[in-house]
Amino acid sequence: MKVLKLIAIIGVIVCFSCKQKPKAEVDWVSSTNDKLWETKVYKATTNETLPDINITLDITKKQQTITGFGGCFNELGWEALGMVTPEEKQQILNDLFDSISGCKFNICRMPIGANDYAVDWYSHNETADDFAMENFSINRDKKRLIPYIKEAHKINPNIEVWASPWCPPSWMKHSKHYACKSNPKFNDLPIEWSSTEELVSRFIMEPDYLKAYALYFSKFVKAYEKEGIDISAVHVQNEPNSAQNFPSCVWKPQDLGIFIADYLGPQFKADNLETPIWLGTVERPQIERVKDVLEYKNTKDYVEGVGFQWAGKGAIEAVHREYPDMQLMQTETECGDGSNDWKAAEHTFNLMKHYFENGANSYMYWNMVLDETGKSQWGWKQNSMISIDSNTKKIVYNPEFYLMKHLSAYVAPGSVKLVANGDADNTIAFLNKNSNEIIMLTYNDKDEKQALNVTVNQQNIKAVLDAKSFNTLTVSLN
């Protein structure tokens, strides 16, 4: 009897131990340059002797909440989609926006008027001195941008769309021209108006113009609402420090504060618009250029977030520290030179890592779809997630498509960023609170396989990572 009791006690202890440390359930998808989006069969053991990557995740150390991922609705993207069959077009849109099998994009950007990936220059009111905005119109957008957005909404009605201008109506600028830098090959800006000087406003800082521009924003939001598209936020100026040969407008930071606090914010309030105002998109590393806007009068009362891109990555850490309650967004991933190769994906991964480690709540790709040239009308060849050959109509899903999906398809809105300790230079981890799952993206940047060892919630996860591979592991904590 004593022996039987002892055996029973041991059995209870073993069962209790099993309940305390259940076997981890792990889903795993991997991408290399040769094998993109390969579902791996998870095995917790290996006989291989390999260099180790040792990481510890503490699910009690939660950081910022993730609001989502997306790209930008651009006119040239819609033009490219028009080159393929309706069935192929639908498949591309599903692959970007479907909330089950696609990238699950849920926050996307659009321009207010022309950007550098418009078919050509336009604004929503080019009637000079129309301060009452009587000739305001979004008719141009009904040909490309609105259909693009509505097709995405058919797939996922919950996609949020935020908007930013590259340039105000040209008559609101001193030069009366959309560009800030002359380039005879791509624009007709007179050379006397060409300047790359920063911190000097090209916008006419007079009350009539400022009032009219605030009204311009308000009419834009209302016009889109009538089309059944709610604008989830407006960012006041794309890259306010950059003088470009394409649509652009340089602003002195204090003048942006004046526009927001004295004109745009009050206009939205008077019109009962609940659309959030963001300071974006910041493309310089100096926090002073952000503070000079936010600290003007009551600007912070109107601004809900700050968006960063390009060299703005150098400012996000300081802004997050200075304004810890401010929402932060990576607004435009660096677009490269049209290479659409694995090296571009590596660069984007490093950007993702940087932004999420410094407080970003969301991450935006730039051109989701382009033709094979990747060129804007102003001469810049850029990357895209998907390329469509205008001659053969061949559709190519580039490495950055899969990299974006490695996070966006798994890190659901409402997930929280986790702290990863150890050999975590190439790892980003999140907790999906709704599903109680850990989502971890790890890049093996070596030319040889490596053994990944992750300790989380008293469990040990092991995987052999292929050379030069992105790996998303989903670990169930249930």
Average pLDDT over residues 446-470: 95
Both 117 and 37 in one domain: the answer is no
Q: In what order do the strands lie in the sheet with 386-388?
A: 369-371, 386-388, 395-397
Both 392 and 429 in one domain: the answer is no
Residue 9, pLDDT above cutoff 50: no
Rg of the chain in Å (alpha carbons): 25
Where is the domain boundary, 386, 410, 434? 410
CATH number for the domain harbouring residue 454:
2.60.40.1180
Q: What is the DSSP letter of 441?
A: E
pTM, two decimal places: 0.94
| Percentage of the residues of the chain whose pLDDT score is greater than 70 | 94
Both 429 and 344 in one domain: the answer is no
- The answer to whether the peptide bond before residue 281 is cis (omega within 30 degrees of 0) is yes
Distance CA 371, CA 396 (A): 10
Short-list 179, 173, 171, 165, CA closest to 129: 171
Both 392 and 440 in one domain: the answer is no
In-domain check, residue 214: yes
In-domain check, residue 181: yes
Both 344 and 444 in one domain: the answer is no
Where is the domain boundary, 392, 410, 428? 410
Three-point CA angle 221, 241, 347, nearest 5°: 90
CATH number for the domain harbouring residue 99:
3.20.20.80
DSSP H helices in 198-341: 207-226, 253-259, 265-270, 288-294, 299-302, 316-322
| Predicted pLDDT at 4 | 42
Question: Which SS3 state, helix, strand or coil, does residue 432 take?
Answer: strand
Distance CA 291, CA 300 (A): 10
Q: What confidence tens digit (pLDDT) does each residue in 80-113 have?
A: 999 999 999 999 999 999 999 999 999 999 999 9
**457 conformational bin, left if phi > 0, alpha if psi -120 to 50, beta if neither:** left
Q: What is the DSSP letter of 384?
A: -
Residue 186 vs residues 193, 204, 366, 372, 426: alpha-carbon distances, Å:
15, 24, 22, 20, 40
pLDDT category, 457, cuts 50, 70, 90? Answer: confident
Q: Tell me which residue range forms the domain holding 433.
A: 26-64+418-476
In-domain check, residue 459: yes
Where is the domain boundary, 410, 433, 468? 410
Both 143 and 202 in one domain: the answer is yes
The number of folded domains in the chain is 2
Both 235 and 142 in one domain: the answer is yes
Both 123 and 219 in one domain: the answer is yes
Both 209 and 322 in one domain: the answer is yes
Residue 323 vs residues 254, 267, 355, 420: alpha-carbon distances, Å:
18, 25, 16, 23
Q: Are 438 and 475 in contact (CB under 8 A)?
A: yes
pLDDT category, 18, cuts 50, 70, 90? Answer: very low
| Predicted pLDDT at 5 | 46
Q: Which residues pair with 279 in a beta bridge?
A: 306
Both 39 and 76 in one domain: the answer is no
| Dihedral sign of CA atoms 196, 202, 383, 416 in order | positive
Backbone angles phi, psi at 301, to 5 degrees: -70, -25
Distance CA 189, CA 282 (A): 25
Q: What confidence tens digit (pLDDT) does each residue in 236-252 have?
A: 999 999 999 999 999 99
Short-list 200, 201, 209, 118, CA closest to 171: 209
463-466 contacts: CB < 8 A, separation 24 or more?
463/26, 463/28, 463/40, 463/42, 463/43, 464/46, 464/48, 464/50, 465/30, 465/53, 466/30, 466/32, 466/35
Residue 24, pLDDT above cutoff 80: no
Backbone angles phi, psi at 381, to 5 degrees: -90, 125
In-domain check, residue 1: no
In-domain check, residue 5: no
Both 320 and 433 in one domain: the answer is no
Both 60 and 75 in one domain: the answer is no
